[in-house]
Chains A and B, each alone.
Chain A
Amino acid sequence: AQKITQTQPGMFVQEKEAVTLDCTYDTSDPSYGLFWYKQPSSGEMIFLIYQGSYDQQNATEGRYSLNFQKARKSANLVISASQLGDSAMYFCAMREYSYQAGNKLTFGGGTRVLVKP
């Protein structure tokens, strides 16, 4: 069974508007972490935001915020005031942690965002 699901393969968003990218996950581990990465056409995966399973408040990083609904096992990314440079692929990932192997991230299939001027 897929651990990370991103149901939106692609989205258009108008510049300066907000966009929400969906992510649901599946784990029986009470301790886990959720990440969002951005991948522009250059290929590099750029870290955006992190939410720990025990964090009481939703994470925020500048224009990025994570809508964490633990009971629903969802961790949606909200990008406010979209900019043209936000056009990229966005990946949700879940951390499984072990001392030996460090942070193992399992990725979703990604959502392609295209910001329109």
Chain B
Amino acid sequence: ETGVTQTPRHLVMGMTNKKSLKCEQHLGHNAMYWYKQSAKKPLELMFVYSLEERVENNSVPSRFSPECPNSSHLFLHLHTLQPEDSALYLCASSQVDTNEKLFFGSGTQLSVL
């Protein structure tokens, strides 16, 4: 069982659809993150949840809505996306108050048509 699991692996959606990305971590961590990886751009931090509270929102458009119901699960709700939102969305987790590394999932490759 991998440490951080993301579903689905691939998602194709129209601009009027509503979908959700799911992330689950089995590492006992208490912080979770969403990153966006677009072609030819560095990874961009989108959201950070620490102890189930959102502590970071890097000027992300409101069409992206995160949810962290507990320390093991993280969702990214998508609605009325734009084609430029097509990217690889990576989830990660870590343990707050240590210097430990982030553990990443395999990502969801999103295509917006």
Q: Which residues of A contact B (CB under 8 A)?
A: 4, 33, 35, 37, 42-47, 50, 52, 91, 95, 97, 99-110
Contact B99 A102 (CB under 8 A): no
Q: Once the chains bind, are A107 and B103 in contact (CB under 8 Å)?
A: no
* B102 with A109: CB separation less than 8 A: no
The residue on A at minimum CB distance from B96 is: A102
Please classify how large the interface on chain B is, using the bins under 10, 10 to 19, 20 to 34, 35 or more. Answer: 20 to 34
Interface residues of B (CB under 8 A from A): 30-31, 40-43, 45, 48, 50, 55-56, 88, 90, 92, 94-97, 99-107, 109
A101 with B101: CB separation less than 8 A: no
- Selected from B30, B48, B100, B109, the residue in CB contact (under 8 A) with A104 is B48
27 A-B pairs with C-beta separation under 8 A: A33-B99, A35-B101, A37-B104, A43-B88, A43-B90, A43-B106, A43-B107, A44-B105, A45-B90, A45-B92, A47-B101, A47-B103, A52-B99, A91-B42, A97-B99, A99-B96, A100-B50, A101-B31, A101-B55, A102-B31, A102-B97, A103-B100, A104-B48, A105-B43, A105-B102, A108-B42, A109-B42
